[in-house]
Structure 1
Amino acid sequence: MTETTVHEDLTVGRVADLVGVSVRTLHHWDGIGLVRPGGRSWSGCRLYDADDVARIHRVLVYRELGLALAQIGRILDDPSADPREHLQRQRTLLQERIRRLEKTARAVDEMIERTDMDHSSTRLSPEEQARIFGTDWDPAYQEEARERWGGTEAWKQSAARTRDWDAAQWQEIKDETDAVEAALADAFGRGVPPGGEEANALAERHRATIARHYDCTPAMQVVLARMYTEDPRFAAHYDERAEGLAAWLRRVIEQSARAQGVDPETATWQ
């Protein structure tokens, strides 16, 4: 990402072209106080100066790193941090992400090599899934899931659908899940209320990622959402993106299910 040098105040359209985001995004960031243009033209149009554009670039880097907008705003508005400290923080986070991506790339390369040698699809073992899904993956999770859900139709569907998935397909699922979780964290940071149109749409996106594995009904999604607050591992996973996200997501899923005729209080795995 190349930072743009600005020598004059720029309109929102010009800034959007320079930094590669939409005008609508810049208007949203202005509305939530994340990046507010420092000036106005004689006709009242927003004008961005060099400092405003520099702040946009910092937002873009933090967003690329997966931080929610509300968290980015708190970081940038920290009175104790100077621009150099922000850059150092971003560099540290980028280096960590690069290490994770390089590890994932090596795992994918290994799977490609194995597939070429075998001339057939190779199913990922739990250990190989861990290389893609991160160090918090524990092979014991699969056995735990088998004990809990092994007799269900959902388990049979998941086993059948994922049997021949290769590393690229697992990575696609991981990327899709990350994108949904980033959107959830962003909505949470913006104060999107459970039960609204946007929240319900996000609940459906979340359910669609589960449905890649098995047919997930709104009632089943509610059952899963209970674990997001009751199981410390799930709670930590979501709250790592934004503190309080797990509880908010559970409410979002429950309200979405209610709108579809499911009582969250009595929902069962069906």
Structure 2
Amino acid sequence: MSDTADADGLTVGQASARLGVTVRALHHWDEIGLARPSLRTGGGYRLYTAADLERLHRIVVYRELGLGLDRIRAVLDDSTTDVPGALRAQRTQVAERIDRLQQLSAGLDRMIDAHERGLLLTVEQQTAIFGPQWDPDGPAQARKRYGDTTQWQQYAERSASRGPEEWQGIADTVAGFERALGDAMDAGLAPGSPEANQLVERHREVFASYFPLTRQMQVCLGRMYEADPGFAAHYDGIRPGLATWFRRIVDASARAHGIDPDTAAWQ
């Protein structure tokens, strides 16, 4: 079919170009009886009249406002339809959608910040929660070192949803666990004992606030606590020798689960 029309109407292709909708959409509206061309050419091709185009224009406007095709049909054809009421209802839905999108946008901003910063807390909040010995540059250093790992991504995803109260709860839980470690070492618990193994399991549960910790990863972490001067100073500040004792109970628990601590990998 040539894309030409009689003087009295426009072809589907011409109407599509005029209105900025697809030919497929026009065919669909024709099929469901929403907007049918009123004329035919001598060759039997259907043409849209000026009145047809006006109806199509209204359909396009209402569709852009978010109304479904059934609702549009009612607005155009049902004289009992409360058009202002229908539009107000649609406006309410649009406002609710905007609110959801704004919340989504804010959530994405927090997620981006968490991936880039780690902790979404001010320096003052970090000091109040984690204590005066806390290094506010620690998260940035951790991101530089671990930012391309799955564990950093998991940590960031958890961090994005946490505020000061949640972090305070985590800090309190960690402090309670560290006190329990010190008390257990003072009590002379032997590595591999049921009580020591329970502490190892508790450590994995506590640490899961940051990211899931496998037993092999826990072995690597225990050895880092002992070897890294900063971590060793922290644990030995709780009890002299605690960093080494903790590494020993983790190693003993790992062996009980068939893991050789000397070959454990971060996986």
TM-score normalised by length of structure 1: 0.53
| Aligned equivalent of 1:181, options 172, 178, 182 | 178
| Aligned equivalent of 2:254, options 254, 257, 260 | 257
Between the aligned partners of 1:211 and 1:165, the Cα distance in structure 2 is 14
Deviation at 1:148, TM superposition (A): 2.1
Deviation at 1:226, TM superposition (A): 1.2
Between the aligned partners of 1:242 and 1:206, the Cα distance in structure 2 is 17
Aligned counterpart, 2:226: 229
SS in structure 2 at match of 1:145: helix
SS in structure 1 at match of 2:238: coil
Between the aligned partners of 1:128 and 1:167, the Cα distance in structure 2 is 7
Aligned counterpart, 1:192: 189
Deviation at 1:144, TM superposition (A): 1.9
Alignment of 1:64-213 (within 5 A): 123-213=120-210
Deviation at 1:152, TM superposition (A): 1.2
SS in structure 2 at match of 1:240: helix
Between the aligned partners of 1:148 and 1:210, the Cα distance in structure 2 is 19
Between the aligned partners of 2:131 and 2:240, the Cα distance in structure 1 is 20
CA contact (8 A) 1:221 1:253 kept: yes
Unaligned runs of 5+ in 2: 1-109, 111-118
Deviation at 1:178, TM superposition (A): 0.8
User: Alignment identity in percent?
Assistant: 48
Relative contact order, higher structure (CA 8 A, sep 6+): 1
Unaligned runs of 5+ in 1: 1-120
- One-letter code aligned to 2:137: A
Aligned counterpart, 2:243: 246
SS in structure 2 at match of 1:261: coil
The root-mean-square deviation of aligned C-alpha atoms, in Å, is 1.9
Q: Tell me which structure has the larger Cα radius of gyration.
A: 2
How many corresponding residue pairs? 151
Give every structure 1 segment of 4 or more consecutive aligned residues whose post-TM-superposition deviation is greater than 3 Å: none
CA contact (8 A) 1:222 1:267 kept: yes
CA contact (8 A) 1:222 1:254 kept: yes
Q: Deviations over 1:94-121 (max 9, x none)?
A: xxxxxxxxxxxxxxxxxxxxxxxxxxx9
Deviation at 1:154, TM superposition (A): 0.9
Deviation at 1:261, TM superposition (A): 2.0
- One-letter code aligned to 2:157: A
